[in-house]
Amino acid sequence: MSRIGKAPITIPAGVTINVSNENLVTVKGPKGELKQQVDPAIVVKVEGTEILVQRPNDEKENRSKHGLYRSLIQNMVTGVSEGYRIVQELVGVGYKAEAKGQILELALGFSHNIHMELCPEIKVETITERGKNPLIILTSMDKQLIGQVAAKIRSFRKPEPYKGKGIKFQNEVLRKKAGKSAAK
User: What is the per-residue pLDDT for 91?
Assistant: 93
What amino acid is encoded at 165 in this protein? K
Q: In the chain, which residues have pLDDT < 70?
A: 1-2, 182-184
User: What is the per-residue pLDDT for 134?
Assistant: 95
Specify the DSSP class assigned to residue 7: S
User: What is the per-residue pLDDT for 178?
Assistant: 87
Non-local CB neighbours of 92 within 8 Å, separated by 6+ positions: 108, 109, 157, 165, 166
User: What is the per-residue pLDDT for 180?
Assistant: 83
User: What is the per-residue pLDDT for 28?
Assistant: 95
- Cβ 19 vs Cβ 48: under 8 Å: no
- Cβ 46 vs Cβ 107: under 8 Å: no
